[in-house]
A = this chain, B = another copy of it.
Amino acid sequence: MTTSSSTDGSAVAAGNHGPHGYSSHKADHLKRLRRIEGQARGLQRMVEEDVYCIDILTQVSASTKALQSFALALLEEHIKHCVAAAVEEGGPAMDEKVAEAMAAISRLLRS
């Protein structure tokens, strides 16, 4: 994790843990997520306009893939920063962080 000296009250109020590994790529992540939001709106338009089911399903697959790519990008930064920091600490802190990351990967695989 980057050295954190957050003075951002609202962020702290939201219960976060301060700047994370993904912070440096925030703009990229937000861009991806806005595109996914747009895809969700596009799906609504398709349903409203009675577009053929199979074409809607193709678009759902594209959105799911976009979500998975976002998740993988976030996970990579998490491993490089949060998990790496825990590894340097070693001991139970490391085991805990790795177990937490594995649980997240498992949820992605099962979803």
Contact = CB atoms under 8 A, between A and B. Distances in A.
21 contacts: A11-B50, A14-B50, A14-B51, A15-B51, A19-B50, A20-B53, A22-B47, A26-B48, A29-B47, A33-B40, A33-B47, A37-B40, A37-B41, A54-B101, A57-B75, A58-B107, A61-B71, A76-B102, A88-B88, A109-B109, A110-B111
A80 B94 contact: yes
Contact of A61 (B36, B47, B111): B111
A53 B82 contact: yes
Interface of A: 6, 8, 10-11, 14-23, 26, 29-30, 33-34, 36-37, 40-41, 43-44, 47-54, 56-58, 60-65, 67-68, 70-72, 74-80, 82-84, 87-88, 94-95, 98-102, 104-111
